[in-house]
Structure 1
Amino acid sequence: MKGSTNTALVIAAFFSIYVIWGSTYLLNKIAVSELPPFMLASIRFITAGILIFILSLMLGKSLAISKKQLLNTVIAGFLFLAFGNGIVVWALKYVDSGFAALQISAQPLVVLLLMRVIDNKKIKAMSIVGVILGVIGIYLLVSQKQITEQENSVLGMVLIFLALLSWASGSLFVGRANLPSNYLVNTGYQMFTGGILLLIASVLFGESWSYPTSWSSPTQYSMILLILFGSIVAFTSFNYLLKTVSPEKVATSTYVNPIIALLLGWYFLNEQITTQSIVAAIVLLTGVYFINTRKQLVIFARFSSRIGRKANQGNSENQPD
């Protein structure tokens, strides 16, 4: 009985990181057509952070963390959410959701190159092939006339590239940083502080805020889905899978998310899927596959194990300075 329950949970978790995360591009695209990008992202993450705090307390988890951990969650929240996600939401004003998802799928390539620059880590032969294919795939993707001729499309591409750099930097940072041992508490602080930073950015950019009651129904539903499923359910599923199955299986979301985003954008928003985009997707995702081989996931596996061990220890280390 327990085995069947675990199997069902694993299937449900994979559905979350495949379909729910893949659908967030569509949901953000719908919402950003009506709402300012930083306002949208700040409401999403502040609300999700508060809900995660409430859930943590209901589960008996302490929210107490050290000053160093608080600073590190602020940095991680900035790299992943305030800058990383906030800039992508902004970019979705200018590019299709499926296109954005494909460009973002190159993140493992950027992480690998940053590791080479920052840590002087040698790039293995398989990864070199992956980098070459990734660069070709990105070129095929962004060089299409149908895309480059769209208003502000180049700005959107540049914004997504900057977000990629931020996410890659965040990935390297969290592998070294002292963060809260419980992943729910850690996520709550990252989302809440990232949301506050986005709120500040929204004020500095002079965005006009509005009450949710004045939003259209599609925007209201999109925001609810982004908060409950995109920010809470999918991330919890991700962490559950890291402790349950092998890292390379979890990494398959890198290949599935852009396909889900492309199909949803095509079906609901009539976004065009060109032959060149399909070829670019195949080449780019093949490159990501070469980078995400088992050998290249050793560091990720060690980091995941470390997080898993800390989560199992509870909050014994989460005492304030």
Structure 2
Amino acid sequence: MGFLFPSSVFPGVAPSKKESMSSTTTEPQSDTITPTSPHAHALMPWIAAAFALVYLAWGCTFYGIRVAIETIPVFLMAGTRFFIAGAILMVGLRFFQPKGFHWGTRREWRDATVVGGLLIVIGNGGMTLSERTLPSGIAALITAGTPLWMVLFDWLRPGGRRPTGTVAVGLLLGFGGILILCQPEHAVTTVASPQLWGYLVLIGANICWGAGAIYSRHTHVEGSPLLPVARQMLMGGLLLFALGVGTGELHRFSLGAVSLRSALGFAYLLVFGSLLGYTAYVWLMKVSTPARVGTVSYVNPIIAVLVGWAMGGEVLTLKIALSAVIIVIAVVIVIRR
């Protein structure tokens, strides 16, 4: 979403027994550094810097999206962002990590198309579209509940795991917080209300993201964990751009009408939101623990709310604050189960 987690390494849903068994029988790579290894202490400053980068880069992404779509059409902006990011990642991996690089099989590109369609086209594209009517902070808080949908889909899939009582409480708490957040500010809200449709589009996007993330956990991954991410970005970006063309965005778009503010927002999303953020996140999954990396899920939305308030003049109400506390607590319960 705004802070798109690499679905193949997301810490919020534990791998299945089959995945766990296969991972324990895989020969460890020589460049892998565990949090308890002798080299871990020397890496602490870099680990701290990587966490700060991910927290700030992805925390500011929602406001960056809001700024970028002020003068750039939604689907063209998102599609171009992800396609360029995916191409840069793919080329970078080809030249800087040639040992584990491969262009991918037909099956891997098929999976990338399915996952990219769910996560990037519907998930991120829907979230980006919702920010035309919703404040960036509210969009971030609702998106923070994505791990809840992941746990729910992990339970409902064939052979899925039933959530424990504690996790069930977390799910109810989180969905309750989202429901409070979506309550209209005014007593009367019609079905034609842009804000109501913004909520519905965003929740639908989160549901598809959760389904896509669970699907991706059961796809074949070979080589660097950034390889499937790059493929998903490429395919998702292409599909989003095609959607922009199909909806007439390209016909209405004028490069001369793009403001400097929107151009800077787009550049931020490309460099910090996609390239640096993803790379730092995947590296942290390699050198830190899933529990620590999982803090991204509930630190980023708080940063997003504060950035929207401080830089975008978005209103902070008691309802938003209460919802934020409830959703963050629920995500902590679910991820740390």
TM-score, with normalisation over the residues of structure 1?
A: 0.86
- Native 8 Å contact 2:226 2:282 kept in 1: no
* 2:220 paired residue number: 178
- Native 8 Å contact 1:72 1:177 kept in 2: yes
1:140 to 170, 180, 184: 180
* 1:234 paired residue number: 277
- Whole-angstrom distance in 1 between the partners of 2:188 and 2:110: 40
Q: How many residues align?
A: 294
Q: State the one-letter code of the partner of 1:257.
A: N
- Whole-angstrom distance in 2 between the partners of 1:185 and 1:147: 49
2:114 counterpart of 1:75:
yes
2:85 to 38, 45, 48: 48
- Whole-angstrom distance in 1 between the partners of 2:41 and 2:157: 44
RMSD: 2.0
* 2:129 paired residue number: 90
Distance 1:8 1:96, change over 3 A: same
Deviation sequence 1:89-112 (CA, Å, 0-9, x none): 001001000000000111111111
- Whole-angstrom distance in 2 between the partners of 1:107 and 1:148: 28
- Whole-angstrom distance in 2 between the partners of 1:13 and 1:148: 46
1:256 to 266, 288, 299: 299
* 2:32 paired residue number: none
2:230 counterpart of 1:188:
yes
Structure 1 position 7, deviation (Å): 1.1
- Whole-angstrom distance in 2 between the partners of 1:227 and 1:134: 30
Structure 1 outlier segments of 4+, above 6 Å:
none
TM-score, with normalisation over the residues of structure 2?
A: 0.82
Structure 1 position 116, deviation (Å): 2.1
Query: Counterpart of 2:93 in 1: which secondary structure?
Result: helix
1:18 to 55, 59, 65: 55
Query: Counterpart of 1:208 in 2: which secondary structure?
Result: helix
Q: How does 1:69-218 map to 2 (within 5 A)?
A: 69-119=108-158, 120-145=160-185, 151-208=193-250, 210=253, 212=255, 214-218=257-261
- Native 8 Å contact 2:40 2:287 kept in 1: no
Query: Counterpart of 1:53 in 2: which secondary structure?
Result: helix
Report which of the two has the higher share of helix: 1
Q: State the one-letter code of the partner of 1:207.
A: E
Q: State the one-letter code of the partner of 1:66.
A: T
- Whole-angstrom distance in 1 between the partners of 2:82 and 2:91: 14
Greater alpha carbon shift after TM alignment, 200-209 vs 70-79: 200-209
- Whole-angstrom distance in 2 between the partners of 1:229 and 1:179: 25
Query: Counterpart of 1:266 in 2: which secondary structure?
Result: helix
* 2:43 paired residue number: 6
